[in-house]
């Protein structure tokens, strides 16, 4: 079944749209505090579609993500009681509690790791505000972690170019279904 290859082709078309850069900025900003889709989903095909702009896209994604992270920090500092039910309804309460423990133990390194890894960064931005993490280390850790992640994605797409685009088209259905299988397996093991 070629579900993922059809989605992949559609995303590549969207990534070439004249407003794609604005959408990338918006997704990057909102994902750091409330939105569920990571910006990598837009960054990768945009860098693949226009490799000459890959570094610009990575920089834009980093800046907007850190600014969105500051919004998450402010939410944690001033409005956590309002969003706590939302965190619980999405099943992120365990991740939030883990983030609190990490901040107590590691501070800067917790936000750095959350920025680089697939851990829900938004949970850590909010938790850092609740914990009262110092703002300068928060900004530095976020910038380094998010920057490394997004520039790595852009670099892979830049160096892979058209050859990678065609290889992904050939493999995307297998990768997509394997990801679904791993996610379901992980869900049933850890749920």
183-186 own/partner pairs: CB under 8 Å, 24+ apart: none
pLDDT, tens digit, for every residue of 162-174?
A: 777 667 666 667 7
Domain count, the chain: 1
pLDDT above 70 as % of the chain: 84
- Per the model's pLDDT, the better-predicted residue between 72 and 130 turns out to be 72
Q: Which phi and psi (to 5°) does residue 73 adopt?
A: -60, -45
As a whole number, mean pLDDT of residues 52-64 equals 96
Residue 83 has a CB neighbour count (10 Å cut-off) of 15
pLDDT at 35 over 60: yes
163 is in which domain, residue-wise? 3-190
Burial class of residue 2 in the structure, from the number of CB atoms within 10 Å of its CB (0-12 exposed, 13-18 middle, 19+ buried): exposed
- Token pair 């850890």 is found at 190
Say how far apart CA 124 and CA 127 lie, in whole Å: 5
1 pLDDT band (50/70/90 cuts)?
Answer: low
As a whole number, mean pLDDT of residues 9-20 equals 76
Residue 49 has a CB neighbour count (10 Å cut-off) of 21
* pLDDT for position 53: 93
For the residues of 120-172, what is the DSSP string, one character each? Answer: -HHHHHHHHHHHT--HHHHHHHHHHHHHHHHHHHHHHHHHHHHHHHHHHHHHH
pLDDT, tens digit, for every residue of 99-149?
A: 777 777 877 787 887 788 777 788 888 888 888 888 999 999 999 999 999
Say how far apart CA 112 and CA 124 lie, in whole Å: 10
């Amino acid at each position: 079944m070629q579900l993922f290859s059809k989605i992949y082709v559609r995303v590549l078309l969207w990534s070439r749209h004249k407003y794609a850069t604005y959408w990338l900025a918006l997704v990057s900003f909102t994902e750091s505090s409330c939105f569920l889709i990571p910006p990598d989903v837009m960054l990768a095909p945009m860098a693949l579609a226009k490799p000459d702009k890959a570094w610009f896209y990575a920089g834009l994604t980093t800046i907007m993500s850190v600014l969105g992270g500051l919004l998450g920090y402010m939410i944690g500092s001033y409005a956590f009681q309002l969003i706590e039910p939302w965190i619980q309804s999405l099943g992120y309460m365990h991740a939030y509690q883990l983030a609190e423990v990490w901040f107590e133990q590691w501070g800067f390194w917790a936000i750095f790791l959350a920025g680089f890894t697939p851990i829900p960064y938004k949970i850590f931005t909010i938790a850092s505000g609740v914990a009262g993490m110092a703002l300068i280390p928060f900004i530095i850790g976020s910038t380094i972690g998010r920057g490394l992640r997004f520039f790595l994605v852009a670099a892979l797409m830049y160096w892979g170019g058209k050859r990678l685009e065609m290889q992904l088209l050939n493999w995307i259905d297998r990768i997509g279904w394997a990801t679904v299988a791993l996610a379901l397996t992980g869900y049933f093991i850890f749920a």
